[in-house]
Amino acid sequence: MPTAQSGDRVQVHYVKRFEDGSVVSSRKRAPLEMTIGVNDPRLPGLGLALVGLAPGACTTVRVPAEHAYGPSDPTRIRRWARTRFPKDQPLPIGQWVRVSNSQGRQRLVRILKVQGPMVVVDTNHRKAGQALELEVELLGIKVPKPRVEAQGP
C-alpha cells in the first residue's frame, strides 16, 4: 500500500484543538485537500506528520505555540488613550473588543486594565502563546505524475 510522501496531494479529516481540549476548527465532514511539503499556516506541522502514513491511518500532532499562532509577545501590551474607543463602548477586563484604526481597518484587542483616561490592551493574536493538537486521519493520496521532458527534433 502506498504511503504519503513530500509532494503528494492528500485528503485529510482533522480536528484542531487547544491543549485544554477546546476545538479551534474541524474538517470532519468535508475533507481538506493539501500538498505535503507546502506550508499551510492554518495547520502548522501537519505535512511532516503525514509522511509515511497510509490511507486510513490516524495520528495526533502536537504543535508548540511558536509554530502555531506564535508566542505571546510582551512588547505587544500597549497603553492607549480611552479616546481610541467609542465613548459608549464597554471595556470589560479580559474581553476581546474590536477597534478601528485611522484607516478604518478593524482588529481585536484584549482589555487588560482601565486606568482613568488610559486603557492597557493586549494586541497579540488572540491565540498567541497556545500550543495546538491536531488529530488527523489520512483519507487518500494523489501521487503527482512525473514530468515528461519535451523531446527535441
Query: pLDDT per residue over 85-101, tens digit each?
Result: 999 999 999 999 999 87
Neighbours of 92 (CB within 10 A): 9
- Max Cα-Cα span within the chain: 81
Sequence-distant (≥ 6) Cβ neighbours of residue 77 within 8 angstroms: 112, 120, 121, 122, 123
What per-residue confidence (pLDDT) applies to 142? 86
Q: When comparing pLDDT for 56 and 2, which is higher? A: 56
pLDDT in tens, 104-129: 899 999 999 999 999 999 999 988 99
Q: How far apart are the first and last CA of the chain?
A: 40
**Looking at the domain assignment, is residue 151 inside a domain?**
no
User: Residue 135 belongs to what domain range?
Assistant: 9-69+128-142
DSSP state of 76: G
The CATH number for 116's domain is: 2.40.10.330
Residue-level length of the chain: 153
The CATH number for 20's domain is: 3.10.50.40
3-state secondary structure of 28: coil
What per-residue confidence (pLDDT) applies to 135? 92
Give this prediction's pTM.
0.65
